[in-house]
Amino acid sequence: MTTEITRDLVGKVYVVTGANSGIGFAAASNFASRGAEVVMICRNPDLGLEALDKIRRNSNNNDQELFTADFSSLTSVSRVAKEILDKYPRIDVLCNNAGGANGSRRMTAEGFETTFAVNHLAG
């Protein structure tokens, strides 16, 4: 059985963090296939570009843009937020998927435990 997906998101701006893999990639792909303009935020630019290319090929929609940010750094999060808001004055949906867990306790430059910073402060 095939389910038809409607292109009901045309004209909407969707920002997706963690968009290069897992749930973030699946969400970004779905939104793009339904016509949304998708703003992807990824930590690794190479993996982000691979995901961007896949989404464009599979969705027949080229309205995506890649931004990079390290969500363990509040400075990086503030920077990317400003960059996105400068270009996209209206955001319809923010889909937070960036996250992670570290095997050892590490601190950010701002003095927060890394897992806490990524999973709670940055989003």
pLDDT at residue 99, rounded to an integer: 72
Domain ranges, residue 49:
13-98
**Which residues in the chain come in under a pLDDT of 70?**
1-7, 113-114, 116-123
Domain harbouring 64, CATH code: 3.40.50.720
The pLDDT assigned to 37 comes to: 98
Burial group, residue 57, by CB count within 10 angstroms (0-12, 13-18, 19+): exposed
Residue 62 in 3-state DSSP? coil
pTM: 0.86
| 112 in any annotated domain | no
Q: Which residues contact 64 (CB under 8 A, 6 or more apart)?
A: 28, 32, 37, 38, 39, 40, 52, 55, 56
Q: What is the pLDDT of residues 46-74, one digit of tens each?
A: 999 999 999 999 999 999 999 999 988 88
Two structure tokens written together for 22: 């897992």
Provide the pLDDT for residue 71: 87
